[in-house]
Structure formats: structure tokens, C-alpha cells
Structure 1
Amino acid sequence: MEMIVASAVGVLTAGGVYLVLRLRAFPVILGLAMLSYAVNVFLFAAGKLTTNMPPILSKYGEATYTDPLPQALVLTAIVISFGMTAVLVMVALASFLESDSDRINLGRSENAGLPVEPGQEDAQ
């Protein structure tokens, strides 16, 4: 069971990193959402995965059970990631409406962000 969950975390992380490295706003938002899903699955798996076990502990014996703390952390992380995704969507929408493009550029021109060579400060 843990191997399947670890593989799912790896696939979600790889897909999220791939999408974050795109130059468009929508894939970046999807990539960040996938990264947050990967963290949620990782936190959920940290609570010792068990199957076919009763959710209520018996007073007569020690039973293996799933730790509820990671589940509470995942619930909190889901709410926070939903809020951050909504903020990112609104920022991307405002950027699209202002520039008519969803490309992510670091500057206004191709040379923006490059170091200026000595003696060429006047040209810019």
C-alpha cells in the first residue's frame, strides 16, 4: 500500500514541477495545485495507512489504527491550498485582462533582467 502511495506522490510531484516550469499562467497554477496534492497525499500517508480496521478503538485490546493527526493536517492543508489557488487564479486573470496574454515574463523586453555592461548605462 505504501509503495502505491509513494508512487502517487512521485508522479504528482513530477507533474507539478513540469507544469510550474511552463511559461503560461494556467499550467503554473495547475502545477502548484498538483504540488499541493502531492504534499497532502504525503501527509496522509504519514499517518500509518491501514485497511479493514475499525475506526473506533476497543477497550479490550491494542488495535492498529490510523493516526488522526495527519488527517487533520491534510484537511487544513486542503483549505489553505484552495484559498491560495483562488488567489492565484484571480492574479492570473487580472494579468491576462491587463496584457491580453497569459505568458509569464520577467520583464517588459527580452533584455530585462540582464546585467548592464559598464559604459552602456546611457543606451538604456
Structure 2
Amino acid sequence: MKPEPETILIVEDDAFISMDAADSVAHAGANVVTTETVSDALLCLEANRITAAILDFQVLDGKITPVVERLCRSGIPYRVVSGSPLQEIVACGIPADRIIPKPADYTNVMVELVRERPWSTLRATSHGAVPVSP
């Protein structure tokens, strides 16, 4: 039986950045769920089997910290990709090794997430993250 594809949550309120991130995730062979708000992200986590997340720090309804807390409790890997100052993000309890400054190469963000998850249906290559062949 073929494994279910990964589902990556993207929380980003800039439409162009969200599309760039979603394209990289889809190219890697994963499903994509996008939201623009913390509240919608929390609802998505309830309704979907999310396997990793790419988050902006400051979105339409505030800082992403409630989503990060939920991801940490569930053991779901994430990266915060943000133009906010590193110190501001770290001060909210997000580890520096989970933060990537904007502008970001979302293919590389996917590679980081895949490397963190050895059970992933994706694998990291020199060309980015790609689906594992059955």
C-alpha cells in the first residue's frame, strides 16, 4: 500500500510568499494547507493530519506562538520564516535553530524539515525534497 503523502501547513499572510512556499512544498510531493491567521492555523491542526509546518512569525491576527506551542506539544516539526528580528522571535520562546530569515528559499526549508523526520515519505536531495519512490 502506498503511504499517504505528507501534509505541510503554511501560515503566511503575504499571498506571493505563501504561493512561493506552497509551490516548493507541492514540488516536493507533499500536500499543502495554507492559512493567513493563527486562528485558522489552529483549526487546521484540529481538522487535518499535519506532518510539518512553515510559519511566518507575525500574521494577520498576531504572533504565531500559539501555533508553535501546539506543534511542539504534538511533536510536529516546524520552521518560522520571518522578516522579524531574531531576538524578538527568540524572546517568544522559539528556538533560534527553528528560525529562517526572509527572504527564504522554500526548497531549502523543505529539505530542513525532511531531514528532521526520518520517517518522512519525502527525502532530501541536492535538488531539494522529493517523494520517496515506492
Say yes or no: TM over 0.5: no
Larger-gyration structure (1/2): 1
Report the structure, 1 or 2, having the larger strand content: 2
Q: State the TM bucket, normalised to the shorter chain.
A: under 0.3
In the superposition, the TM-score normalised over structure 1's length comes to 0.26
In the superposition, the TM-score normalised over structure 2's length comes to 0.25
